[in-house]
Amino acid sequence: MRILCLNCGSSSVKYRLYDWEGQETLATGVVERVTVGGSFIAHEVSGRDKLTISRECPDHRMAIKLVMDTLTHPEHGVIADTKSITAVGHRVVHGGEKFAKSALIDDAAIDAFKKISALAPLHNPPNIMGIEAAQDLMPDIPHVAIMDTAWHQTMPTSSYIYALPYAWYEKYGVRRYGFHGTSFLYNAKRAAVLLKKDPFKCNLVICHIGNGASVNAVQNGLSYDTSMGMTPLEGLVMGTRAGDHDPAIDFFVMGKEGLSAKEMDSLLNKKSGVLGITGRYTDRRDVEEAAANGDARAALALQVEGYRIRKYIGAYAAAVGGLDAVIFTAGVGEMSDQIRAIATHGLDFLGIKIDPEKNQLTHTRNAECDISAAGAATKVFVIPTDEERVFIEDVVAITAGNYDIHTRFTYRFQSPDYRNTMRDEAFCRELAKKPGLAKVACHLPKVHA
C-alpha cells in the first residue's frame, strides 16, 4: 500500500510518498512558485542527490501532474506508474465545526470545505483546488482530508467562544477554531511516549513555532485551548502576522492613513510580526544573525517573540492545572535555541528549567531531544513534528475501515519502538559532524548505538 500525502498552499504543493508495508518514505518534495511563474520541483529520495527540475505550473493541476511525472520518471522516480498509488491524503486547513477527525472526501465534504472557505480564504481555496486536481488525475482511488482544526474540537465552550455578540457565532460561526492540529496530535502522542505515561494522563504545552506559530494547551491528552483563533492571525508573534494586539489600533490607523479593510487585513497578515518589528526579516536565522551584529530591532523582535511564547506557556500551565512537559516543535521551535531560551526564561517556579548546554546543542530536525535541566519537575522536549505521518496512518485506517477519533484510535507512532528510518539515517550523518547531539537525543539510531 502506497500513500501519497499532498499539502497544497496558494503557491506550492508539498508531497510525500510512503510505502506502508515497508514502513518507509519513498520520496518527498515540493513544487514551488505554482501560479506565480518560475515554477520548479525539488525532489528527494533517500540515498540519492536532491533533484531540481524547472517547469511552469500555472495551476495546481499542472503542479500535481509534475509531481506524478517525477515520481514515475524512469530515472528519477520511485514507482512505475500512478496505479501504484493506493490512496491520497490531503491537508485541509479549516474544517469548521463539522469535522472532529479526518474524513473520506466525497462531494458533500468538498461542498462543506467550500462553504467555510470564508473562514480561511488564504488556505482552503488552494486546498480544494489541490483535491479536485488530484481527483481528476487519480479518479479511481480514495482521497482523504486531514483537517488542521479537527484536533481542537475537544476544546470546552469556554475556550472557544469569544466575548462578542453571541449571534455572530450562531449566524457566521465566529469562534476559536485553532490550527496546526495535526502537528499537535503527533507531538502530544510522542510526548506521552517520552514521558512513559498514558497519553490521556498528560498535561502539556506544545509550542509549534515556525513562520506561522501557535501554542496548544493539552489537558489529559485533549486540546483544551490554543492561541490561534477563528483565523491563524491571533496569538503569537509570527513571521509576518501580528498575533495578539489591541484591535482598536487597526481602526485608528485605518482612519489616519485612509486604509480599507482589505488593506488592513493584508498588513496584519503579511507586513506585521517579526517583519513588522525588524522592517526586513522573517527568517529567524536572519534575525538572530542581525541581532548578533548589533541590529537593535532584530534583537527586540527576538525578545518580543520569545516573551509572547513565555506568556502563553504560563497562562496555559495555569489553565490545565500544571504540566508534565513543554514541547517545542516546527522549524523555529526545533532549530532556534535562542527562542527556546527566551521563552522558558524565569519559569523555574513552574518546574520549567532548561539546561543551557543541552539547549545550545539541540539543532536537529531528525531526533527527539530532552533539554530539561537535571532535576526539573517539568520536562522540556524538542520534538521534530511529522504531520505527514498522521496523514499516512489516518488514510490507511480510513481505507481499511478501522479509523476513529484519536481518543479511540492508537497510532503506530505511539509505540515506544517506533522509528522513522529516514530520520535515523539523516541523524547518523548529523552525529558524524556534531557528536554532541548524542548527549541530548532521547533515542539513538540503532546503527549508531
Q: What would the pLDDT profile of 127-142 be if each residue is shown by its tens digit?
A: 898 899 899 989 999 9
Question: How large is the average pLDDT for residues 106-112?
Answer: 92
Question: How large is the average pLDDT for residues 210-234?
Answer: 96
Q: In what order do the strands lie in the sheet with 87-92?
A: 51-54, 40-44, 24-32, 12-19, 2-8, 87-92, 143-147, 103-104
User: Average per-residue pLDDT in the chain?
Assistant: 94
98 phi/psi in degrees, rounded to 5: -70, -30
The CATH topology of domain 2-147 is: Nucleotidyltransferase; domain 5 (3.30.420)
pLDDT at 448 over 80: no
Q: Provide the pLDDT confidence category of residue 447 given band limits of 50, 70 and 90.
A: low
User: Active-site residue numbers?
Assistant: 148
Under 8 Å CB-to-CB from 27, ≥6 apart: which residues?
Answer: 15, 16, 17, 43, 44, 45, 71, 77, 78
Going by the DSSP 8-state scheme, the letter that residue 35 receives in this structure is: T
Q: What percent of the chain has pLDDT over 70?
A: 99
Q: What would the pLDDT profile of 140-154 be if each residue is shown by its tens digit?
A: 999 999 999 999 999
116-120, 299-303, 388-392: the lowest-pLDDT one = 116-120
Q: What would the pLDDT profile of 71-107 be if each residue is shown by its tens digit?
A: 999 998 999 988 999 999 999 989 888 898 999 999 9
pTM of the model: 0.93
Beta strand 51-54 pairing with 40-44 = antiparallel
Q: Provide the pLDDT for residue 15.
A: 94
Residue of higher predicted confidence among 333 and 445: 333
pLDDT at 381 over 50: yes
pLDDT at 449 over 80: no
Residue of higher predicted confidence among 158 and 446: 158
Burial 82-108 (b: 16+ CB within 10 A, else e): bebbbbbbbbbbbbbebbbbbbebeee
Q: Where are the domains of the chain?
A: 2-147, 181-382
Q: What would the pLDDT profile of 309-361 be if each residue is shown by its tens digit?
A: 999 999 999 999 999 999 999 999 999 999 999 999 999 999 999 999 999 99
Q: Provide the pLDDT for residue 46.
A: 80
Q: What would the pLDDT profile of 159-207 be if each residue is shown by its tens digit?
A: 999 999 999 999 999 999 999 999 999 999 999 999 999 999 999 999 9
pLDDT at 117 over 90: no
Q: Which three cell numbers stand for residue 192?
A: 506521552
Q: Do domains 2-147 and 181-382 have the same CATH topology?
A: yes
Which has the closest alpha carbon to 283: 265, 305, 308?
305
Question: How large is the average pLDDT for residues 359-367?
Answer: 95
The CATH topology of domain 181-382 is: Nucleotidyltransferase; domain 5 (3.30.420)
pLDDT at 287 over 80: yes
